[in-house]
Amino acid sequence: MNGLVARLTLVAVAALAGDGDLPPGAGSIVAQALEGRSFDVLAELTDKVGSRLAGSPGAAAAVRWSSDWLRAAALEVRLEPVKVKAWVRGEERAEILASDLWRAQPLAVAALGSSPPTPPGGVTASVIEVSSLEELRSLGDKVRGRVVLFQHQMKDAAGYGRNVKLRSRGPAEAARAGAAAALVRSLATASLRTPHTGITDFAEGGAAIPAAAVSVEDAELIHRLLALGPVRVKLVLGCGPANPPEVASANVVAEWRGREIPDEVVLIGAHLDSWDLGTGAQDDGAGVAMVMEAMRILRSRGVAPRRTLRAVLFMDEETGAIGGRAYHDAHRADPARLVAALEADSGGGRPTGVKVSAGPGATEIVKGWAQPLASVGVDSVVAGGGGADVDPWVADGVPLLMIAQDVSHYFDWHHSAADTLDKVERSDLARATAAVAWMAWAAADARETLPRSPAPR
């Protein structure tokens, strides 16, 4: 931790260990987390292992590294197989071609995950701009042979959910309309002319076109030029399926067997893979570090919780929650064994609350569990827990938890080359780790489980 305020916070929380008004051990669990060792774990992952695109050597190295680390923490570790589709980035460049009104200018682009390559000479075509899928559909044959620019005005974190379909579904719809290629304005809340990548979904056997993210600044440039006259761009992408296109990988599973009800499991998880542009510090190295350090802290207590505590580092969340679905398929035969699941995939920001998705009365129970976290900034418990890798369990009624965090700057760096360790504050990550560790212990050691959600209709 850094600074006098952080040190005083640590001393104050450590003093809570003997406070009779808190659940047993709450103060010491929080105090250990506030020592800030989760940042050191994250530094190992980002600076030594590096980027971890599913199917890449980096992802394989991350599986080995995390397995060894968790075994050294005296946890039982196993690898559960996951098959992933490997994709490589290759060359990527683009430019606005010169006209009578302007000189040629380069564009900052990054291929979208699963995009096919351009022909060797690239794609050269006029740009047509749309701001919604509905607008794209309304244009009909006007799209044919054009480069479709998906424009939007994402200003804050909430804008990601509103606009992500332009990236995930837009290029496929443009392909079906006969477009030559697609550019998607980066889904970002800040930019230094940095493109933000992400997955785009092309149906198996369906039409597919080269697709890339373009920086916010260059999307604005194209928009301004379109007001003056036709804009032609050239796009060159060398991306495509790896050789071989399917790779054997794994979810990393580590557990500490419960002392009284070992057949009931509380899961805490994060995804081990990342995009390849940066080193995945925020997405989701921070979550991985929280989960690993939480397990180390709890295991170091010596006395196991009532239920089994299981950590899962999921592989290949970024291209469709492949690891999460594989884990669900492998374990759903007896879903009653999983009594709660918490996923950490919101970066390394400070914790602000707890979200819960469960049956009637769950929110009040979790409010009781969360009381010791007031010292680290958790001041609310609301409905809405979940995460891409644990969401498959919703259909089985499994209660889902999530630590709400400050994400006001998360999308400044998300899926970009700027997602590196220096964007994570040690003290904020320590506080979030404390929240994950205590909530994991509270759920695993509680006398009663959270009420299950009603079965979906």
Query: Are residues 36 and 60 located together in one domain of the fold?
Result: yes
What was the pLDDT predicted at 21?
Answer: 57
What was the pLDDT predicted at 454?
Answer: 84
Query: Are residues 292 and 416 located together in one domain of the fold?
Result: yes
Query: Are residues 262 and 324 located together in one domain of the fold?
Result: yes
What would the two tokens of residue 245 be?
């296109």
In a domain, 55, yes or no: yes
- pLDDT above 70 (res 12): no
Tell me, what DSSP letter sits at residue 113? B
- pLDDT above 80 (res 9): no
- Tens digit of each residue's pLDDT (9 = 90 or more) over 279-309: 999 999 999 999 999 999 999 999 999 999 9
- Tens digit of each residue's pLDDT (9 = 90 or more) over 299-349: 999 999 999 999 999 999 999 999 999 999 999 998 889 999 999 999 999
Percent of the chain with pLDDT over 70: 95
- pLDDT above 70 (res 215): yes
Give the domain CATH number at 120: 3.50.30.30
- pLDDT above 60 (res 457): no
Known catalytic membership, residue 317: yes
d(CA 105, CA 330): 51
Query: Are residues 387 and 316 located together in one domain of the fold?
Result: yes
Domain final residue pick, 238, 263, 292: 238
Query: The pTM is what?
Result: 0.94
Query: Are residues 415 and 324 located together in one domain of the fold?
Result: yes
Query: Strands of 123-130's sheet, edge to edge?
Result: 105-107, 92-96, 232-237, 123-130, 147-150, 181-185, 211-214, 109-111
In a domain, 453, yes or no: no
* Domain assignment of residue 225, given as a range: 90-238
Asked if 324 contacts 389 with a C-beta cutoff of 8 angstroms, the reply is yes
Q: What is the mean pLDDT of residues 177-204?
A: 97
Query: Are residues 251 and 320 located together in one domain of the fold?
Result: yes
What was the pLDDT predicted at 4?
Answer: 33
Residue with tokens 């050789």: 243
- pLDDT above 50 (res 437): yes
What was the pLDDT predicted at 6?
Answer: 45
d(CA 129, CA 449): 52
- pLDDT above 70 (res 455): no
Asked if 279 contacts 157 with a C-beta cutoff of 8 angstroms, the reply is no
Residues 6+ apart with CB under 8 A from 19: 27
In this structure, the strands spanning 123-130 and 232-237 are antiparallel
Query: Are residues 307 and 320 located together in one domain of the fold?
Result: yes
How does the average pLDDT of the chain come out, rounded? 94
Confidence bin at 23 (pLDDT 50/70/90): confident
- Tens digit of each residue's pLDDT (9 = 90 or more) over 376-416: 999 999 999 899 999 999 999 999 999 999 999 999 999 99
What are the strands, taking DSSP E only, across 89-198? 92-96, 105-107, 109-111, 123-130, 147-150, 181-185
d(CA 318, CA 154): 20
Query: Are residues 250 and 199 located together in one domain of the fold?
Result: no
d(CA 112, CA 89): 9
Q: What is the mean pLDDT of residues 85-104?
A: 97
- Which amino acid, one-letter code, is at 436? V
Closest CA to 216 of 317, 108, 321, 141: 108
Total structural domains within the chain = 2
In a domain, 454, yes or no: no
Query: Are residues 102 and 167 located together in one domain of the fold?
Result: yes
What would the two tokens of residue 440 be?
């994991």
Q: What is the mean pLDDT of residues 141-156?
A: 97
Question: How far is C-alpha 265 from the chain's CA centre?
Answer: 23
What was the pLDDT predicted at 414?
Answer: 98
What was the pLDDT predicted at 456?
Answer: 62
Domain final residue pick, 238, 255, 283: 238
Query: Are residues 324 and 404 located together in one domain of the fold?
Result: yes
- pLDDT above 60 (res 18): no
Q: What is the mean pLDDT of residues 22-27?
A: 79
In a domain, 455, yes or no: no
The catalytically annotated residue of 129, 255, 293, 317 is 317
- pLDDT above 80 (res 259): yes
What was the pLDDT predicted at 88?
Answer: 97
In a domain, 212, yes or no: yes
Q: What is the mean pLDDT of residues 173-188?
A: 98
In a domain, 451, yes or no: no
Query: Are residues 316 and 431 located together in one domain of the fold?
Result: yes
What was the pLDDT predicted at 5?
Answer: 37
What are the strands, taking DSSP E only, across 89-192? 92-96, 105-107, 109-111, 123-130, 147-150, 181-185
In a domain, 299, yes or no: yes
d(CA 239, CA 224): 29
Query: Are residues 269 and 186 located together in one domain of the fold?
Result: no
Percent of the chain with pLDDT over 90: 92
Q: What is the mean pLDDT of residues 77-99?
A: 97
In a domain, 456, yes or no: no
Domain final residue pick, 175, 209, 238: 238
What was the pLDDT predicted at 261?
Answer: 97
- Tens digit of each residue's pLDDT (9 = 90 or more) over 49-77: 999 999 999 999 999 999 999 999 999 99
d(CA 25, CA 287): 23
